[in-house]
Amino acid sequence: MATKISVDDLLDHIGSLTLLEAADLKKKMEDKFGVTAAAPMGMAMMAPAGAGGSAAAEEKTEFDVILTSVGDKKIEVLKVVREVTGLGLKEAKDLVDSAPKPVKEKVKKEDADQMKAKLEATGAKVEIK
């Protein structure tokens, strides 16, 4: 029967392995247990932008909805801006009067498309960036 080794002793032993021995241990553990020792997703995001062009391949997930022009129905646009932002009357009026201006920033694509559709239905011109 094998002698039971403590976790601390095991960690000390693994810490004393050479780089080649550690790589061999990793491969054998992956094979035996059917797992991979891949870097977590957060690590991939920390890679520099020039590293293999991976940053360019990432899909954009946050969008800004920008009111570029109010159109003829300012009051209708104002109502929709209040609805989608939750702003008070004065704040919404200031936003509408200072177009082009972001209505909402860092929203999901579906939400941005819905806001754009609502605003454009009132005659406003909207960009999603």
Cα separation values, 99 from 38, 49, 52, 69, 114, Å? 47, 33, 39, 6, 19
Of the candidates 122, 41, 125, which has an alpha carbon nearest to the alpha carbon of residue 78?
122
| Higher-scoring residue by pLDDT: 27, 47 | 27
- Which residues contact residue 94 at a Cβ distance below 8 angstroms, ignoring those fewer than 6 apart? none
And the tokens for 75?
């009051």
- This prediction's pTM: 0.52
Give pLDDT, residue 115: 87
What token pair was written down for 114? Answer: 């819905």
**What would the two tokens of residue 112 be?**
């941005």
- Tell me, what's the pLDDT at 128? 86
